[in-house]
Each structure stands twice: as structure tokens, then as C-alpha cells.
Structure 1
Amino acid sequence: MCSGCGVEDRLYRNGHCWRCSLADVFDALTTGGSVDVASLRSSLLATDRPRAVVRWLATPFAANSIRALSAGEVAMTHEGIDTFGDTLAVSRLRAELVTAGLLAARDEIVAKLEAWIATQLNAIAGTGDRQTIDAFSTWWVLRRVRRRAATAETTNDRSARMQIARAIEFLAFLHGHGATLATCTQADVDLWLAGPPSRRGARDFVRWAHRRGLCGELEIANRVQGWPTRQLAPGAQEQIIRRLLTDDTMSLVDRVSGLLVGCYGQLPARLVRLTIDDITIDGTTVTIRFGRDRVELVEPVAVCVTALIETRRGRSASDTTAASRWLFPGGFAGRHLDPETLANRLRRLGISASKLRTDVLLELAAEIPPAILADLIGLYPTTAARWTHAAGGDWAVYAAERVRATPPR
């Protein structure tokens, strides 16, 4: 029996259970500090896994950083946390502080992109080029990333970084060929495009620069995209679904994510943002919201989803199952699972999420009118129309549906 709280549990040290030991360790790190960290203490003590939190607090980084923050040696701000570096350990600490209410929540993708842009700008020698890239990054790239982050559509910043990197390379290319952005001609652009295909990534920059009056009207054509086609061998999709439904040796996380991809055409990036509030269980009927309308899950899938809700558990030591609303909790407090991690989990099982999704979307688009499909599974109307076209439908049917669905003004 614990001498601290009286609970009957395995004791850790000094006659205390793991939870009381957690309080002891935290208090030892923060006693005498000038900053109030009581909310962090309470948040950590609420964990379902006190033993794991004690071990985390025993790591040199966690111990030293919490001691420094409590003593006021490092500011309790995102900028202060940034001084610790950019590692998984820092991300873990930041997530704990956000969960405890000591830091305001921020979009980490946007924050890291801003830091990366600052580094790129510092490396540009010419003042004029630096100002141009700064304006492009701020008013075109970052503006779009922030807008998507606000609507939960941003899962990584690879595209944004690519656009900025190509813009920097394009300006350097022009200087290397005796030209500038202001004097650039279509011939210069065509010479640029004679290089690697990735150079087409400068298209948005060139169009933005023209609209700003920084260059003449120049053309970088979009890469031609073909229509989606079947990706899996005949019968493979059915085998994958059957395996996900029946293989009890698989993790429920893998089974449910695979089924939602393979039956409802969802992206891992969309799946990880699902919360238990998106799911309604009414007796044996389970519905889920991917888009504007709710979808009733077929019984075998509903059983797996219900089981996941009851047993879900992230890898964060301090998160509590009751507090987390994510259907797929992640490794840091308050965070969902990373979409790439989810896709990699399926890949290790021999399941390509992108190929499986392509095949099921072609099937759904062949059977469901695009206006309805868009609302059911969360596609943009134009994207739904594209899938319908690829599956053998036509734009006329789609347009007629949208007209009928639009109330008179």
C-alpha cells in the first residue's frame, strides 16, 4: 500500500506508488522556482501511465528544461522553447506545455516553415532578391499555408518549401545567365525548363511576379496529369478488405485506418484528424462524418470502429484516454497520429493507402453521383467530378445535379 495516497499498487520508491513518485520527482525539479507550473504538475499527474511520465522526467533534457522553465531561466513562450532546438524531445515538451495551458496552441507546420524561410532568406546575398523572395513567401506561400491550416487541410510543408526553393534557384539561374527577373524573357524561361522536371515548381513564383509587375508575362505550363486508373491487381482490393476485417492479430489502428481508406476512400491525412465527436453510436448503428453528410458504416467496419474507440491509446505517456478526443491519438500530448506514420503502418502490412484509395474512389464514383459523393466522403465538388469522369461519368450529369441542389435566389 502506498504510504502517500493509500492506494494498493506496486510501489516505486520510498514507499510511494508511481503516481506519488511522479509528484515527488516533479516537485524536486520545480521547488523554489519563480514561475507557476502547477497546471503542468496537474496535467502530468492526470496521466493513465505515471510510470512512463516518471521515466520521461528522469531524462536529462526533460529534467533540465523543466527546471530552467520553472526557475525563469528560459521564457515560458514558444520562442523560449525554440531555444532548446528542434528535436523530438523539444516537440514532446512543447506539447506537454500546450496541454497544460502554459503555452498557447500553435500550428507547428506553419511555425517550422516560418523558421525555415528565415534561414533561406539569410542565405540570399542580394538585397533585391531577398526582398522578392520574402514577399513571395509571405504573401503567397505562407498565406495559403495558414489558410489551409485554419481549415485543417495542411499536413506538411513540402510543397511550400519546394515553391520557395525553386523561386530562389530560378533567380540564381537568371543571374548566372546575365539576366534578372525584370529582364527575363520567355527564352530564359525555356532554357530554365530544359533542366530537371522539378524546375516547373517555379510556376507559381513566375505568375505571382508577373501580377506584381516584377516581370513580363512568362509561361511555365502545368505538368499534364492523366486520369486516375486502377492501381491494384484484380481481386487484390477485396483480399485486403477481407484481411482487415478478419485478422485479429492486427492492431485496431491499422485495421480501422485501412478499412476507412479501402471502403470510403479517405486519405490518411484526413483520417488522423477524425475525433470521436465525428462518430455517433446509436445501438448497433454507427455513423461517421467525413464531409457534409454522415455515412452509416457497414456492420463489420462499425464493429472495428467501436472497438477502437473503446481501446484507443496514443503513445504519449501523459495523455489520458478520457481527455483525448482524437480517434487516432499520437505520440505527443494533445496531438493526433502523424499521417505519414499512419500510411507507413499500412505500408509495413503490404498495403498502399494511395493505391487502395484510388481503386475504391473509382468504384464509388461509378456508382454515386458526384454531388452526393462530394458531400459523403469530403471531396471538393471539382475533385468529385474528376473522379466521376475517370470512372466513366460526365460533367453534364454533375452540373445538372448541382443546379437542382442549389435553392433559387
Structure 2
Amino acid sequence: MAQPLQPLAVVLTGAENPYRVLQWLRRSPAARLLGRLVLDPGALNHESLDTLPQRAATAYVRGLLVTAGILPPRDENLALLTNWVARTVAELPARHAHLIRPFAEWHIIRDTRRRSARGRYTYAAHKGDCGNVLAAIDFLNWLDSQHLSLRRLQQPHLDTWATDRPTLRSRSNPFLRWSTARRLCPPGLSIEHPASQLPGHFQAEDEARNELLRCLNDTALPLDVWVAAALIRLYALPLTRIVELPARPSYRRSAPARPPRHSNTARRRYLLPGHSPGRPRNPLGLADTLRHHGLPARAARNTAMMDALVDLPPMVIADLLGVHPKTAERWATLAGGNWSDYLAVRRAAPQG
């Protein structure tokens, strides 16, 4: 193997079971992709990988190259968003692209870069930003279907849009605010938010305590299940936050004789690593795993949130858990009342 690729050989041969590595090299699509890339050293960069179909094999190979120090680490969630925006805008008709491109690049992505610089841009946030762009595209398509333009938009039109698309109404607000600020549509337009729904899934005190004891004492639980379920029940952390938690740093007794081209010190190691090297566990898959082991997340987190708000002010909860301050205030209002009575009413109500 060429000298610049020696760190990759170290990563591949450092597995506990070399026979699995050999099997991976012979059968995996990621191994075949890696084989093609190493024949062309000029393709060993993020830009070249970004031009490939973004399948699991591409993500795995990228993770291997970053782990080996051959490629520099980067915020993959930010890269996913910027590359997705570029591909999506390129497929739009020109009349829509000239609106969606500046909205996405100067409003969505600019804010994303700020969050990324603070280390707070998660995969869930990336999916939400993509949803905001898709809602803007859907809104422009709807305007076309109604023979309308942004400049001719009136509040009754917007009300009709929001009523017909309840799942997109909140996602449409960023584009509406951006369009209004740039005087692309009449001032004073707004999308009314529906009344906030109070949480409806809680646990009884005995159930919550027994599940927490199981997390702490059941040695048959897989490690990832034990860690995630305990963090939910102790600290009300959402799965999207748990999968982004860093692992404790490991220290080597001696430095390698030849360090990689790119330092790995900036590459984040996750407490719950995902399938691709250098990427966290998928929160949706983790939720399924927790349910499979009888430790579902939603009701447990709601209950832990209520318990936390008894002792901590909402602003502290918002900062610790990464929720919006208004969300924390709404929860605090519920917790400040007799929420045990509320829970009893919810349990007595027929389940739809």
C-alpha cells in the first residue's frame, strides 16, 4: 500500500477479528468503492466523495478515511445539508431556484454554520432544515397551482395553504419571514400556530422507578440500551441529544512513529457510535432497539422532564436539554399544577 495510505491499513488490520476484515474486503460494497478510490489518489478528498451517490457505502468509506487521518474531519451534518441543498436547487425550475437558493444559502445554511461552530448542529437539526427548504418549495409550487405569486399573496391565501397542509404550516414560517423581510411579499402576513398540545404519555411513579432500577441492575441489557435508557430516565435527555454525546477520550502510551496527514484530535468520538466510522448512532434505530427491550423512550422522558422541573427552573432545563425556552416554560406550567391529576385524566380517557 502506498505510504500516504498506511494509516488506512492500520485501521483495517487493527480489528479484533482479522477474518471479518477479510470477509469485508471480499464482499462489502464499501470495500469495492474503497478499492476504486485508492487507485486514484486524486479522488481521496471530500469533494470527490460528495459527487458520488450518497449511499451507506460512501458514508462508510468517508468515515474510514477520516478515522485513518487521510481526510480531515468536518461537520458531516453541515456537509449533508449543503450538498443536499445544492442538488435540490439544481433540479428546480429557474423561477423557483432564484428564490430558494438565497433563502437556503443565506438564511438556513448561514444559521447552520453558526450552530456548527458551537458544536450544536445535530443530525435531527439537519433533517429539520431540509424540511424547511422542502416546505418552501412546496409553497411555491402551490402558488403556481393557484396562479399566484409572492407579491400577490394575501392572508386568505395563506390561511388556505396552512389549513390544507397542517404538517407543513410551521415549516413554512422561516420562508415566509425571510420573504417578508426582503419585501418579496406584502407585509403583515402570518401563519397562525395551532394550539400547543400537552404531552400525553407518562409513566406511573412505580413504573418509572422499576424501569430505572432495571437499567441499573439488569446485566443482560446490551450496553447501548443500558446507557440510553438510563440517561433518558435520569436526566430526561432526548435520543437526538444522547447519540451526539462524545465518548471519553482515550490516551495512548506512546505516539505513533508516523502520524497521519490530518490530526485526529478534532475528530469527534461518540459514546454510541453508528455503523459508519466517525458517525453517531441513528436515533430512530436506537428508539426501536429500546422498544424491543421494553424500555421505550417517550413516556419515560416526559416523566423525567416533569420530575426535573420540580427542582430546576425552566431556563436551566432549556439549556441542559437543548429545548426551546418557550417549550420549557410550557412544561413548567404543566408541572407547576397538579400534573398527577392531569395524568389520571389522560389515563382514564379512551385511547384513539
TM-score bracket relative to the smaller structure: 0.7 to 0.9
CA contact (8 A) 2:203 2:299 kept: yes
1:204 matched to 2:171? The reply is: no
CA contact (8 A) 2:30 2:60 kept: no
1:86 matched to 2:39? The reply is: no
- 1:229 is displaced (CA, Å) by 5.5
* Match of residue 308 from structure 2: 364
1:333 matched to 2:304? The reply is: no
Q: Quick one: distance in 1 between partners of 2:100 and 2:268?
A: 40
- 1:248 is displaced (CA, Å) by 2.0
* Match of residue 134 from structure 1: 101
Structure 2 CA distance for partners of 1:113 and 1:58, relative to 1, 3 Å: same
Q: Quick one: distance in 2 between partners of 1:324 and 1:103?
A: 14
1:258 matched to 2:226? The reply is: no
Indicate the larger mover: 267-276 or 206-215: 267-276
CA contact (8 A) 1:229 1:390 kept: no
1:92-144 CA deviation, whole Å, 9 max, x = no partner?
1110001111112222232232333233223322x232110111111122223
- 1:377 is displaced (CA, Å) by 5.7
1:44 matched to 2:15? The reply is: no
* Match of residue 331 from structure 2: 387
TM-score, scaled to structure 2: 0.79
CA contact (8 A) 2:33 2:57 kept: no
Instruction: Tell me which of 95, 113, 128 is aligned to 1:146.
Output: 113
Structure 2 CA distance for partners of 1:348 and 1:149, relative to 1, 3 Å: farther
Letter in 2 for 1:145: T
Bigger Rg, which one? 1
* Match of residue 291 from structure 1: none
Structure 2 CA distance for partners of 1:377 and 1:197, relative to 1, 3 Å: closer
- 1:337 is displaced (CA, Å) by 2.2
Structure 2 CA distance for partners of 1:331 and 1:245, relative to 1, 3 Å: same
CA contact (8 A) 1:121 1:130 kept: yes
Structure 2 CA distance for partners of 1:229 and 1:165, relative to 1, 3 Å: same
After TM superposition, list the pairs within 5 Å mapping 1:194-273 onto structure 2: 194-200=163-169, 201-217=171-187, 218-228=189-199, 231-233=202-204, 235-273=206-244
1:10-62 CA deviation, whole Å, 9 max, x = no partner?
xxxxxxxxxxxxxxxxxxxx4xx6x8312212232333343322222222634
1:162 matched to 2:131? The reply is: yes
Q: Quick one: distance in 1 between partners of 2:137 and 2:315?
A: 41
Q: Quick one: distance in 2 between partners of 1:159 and 1:324?
A: 22
CA contact (8 A) 1:346 1:353 kept: yes
Q: Quick one: distance in 2 between partners of 1:368 and 1:36?
A: 53
1:346-400 CA deviation, whole Å, 9 max, x = no partner?
122233212211111101211334455556666666554443222107xxxxxxx
Q: Quick one: distance in 2 between partners of 1:177 and 1:207?
A: 21
Q: Quick one: distance in 1 between partners of 2:199 and 2:28?
A: 51
Letter in 2 for 1:341: G
1:332-351 CA deviation, whole Å, 9 max, x = no partner?
22333232232221122233
Q: Quick one: distance in 1 between partners of 2:66 and 2:272?
A: 19
* Match of residue 112 from structure 1: 80
SS in 2 for 1:266: coil
Letter in 1 for 2:148: A
Structure 2 CA distance for partners of 1:373 and 1:221, relative to 1, 3 Å: closer
CA contact (8 A) 1:241 1:259 kept: yes
TM-score, scaled to structure 1: 0.69
More helix by share: 2
Q: Quick one: distance in 1 between partners of 2:97 and 2:268?
A: 43
Q: Quick one: distance in 1 between partners of 2:116 and 2:268?
A: 20
SS in 2 for 1:223: coil
* Match of residue 55 from structure 1: 23
Count matched residues: 317
Q: Quick one: distance in 2 between partners of 1:326 and 1:254?
A: 15
Structure 2 CA distance for partners of 1:48 and 1:124, relative to 1, 3 Å: same
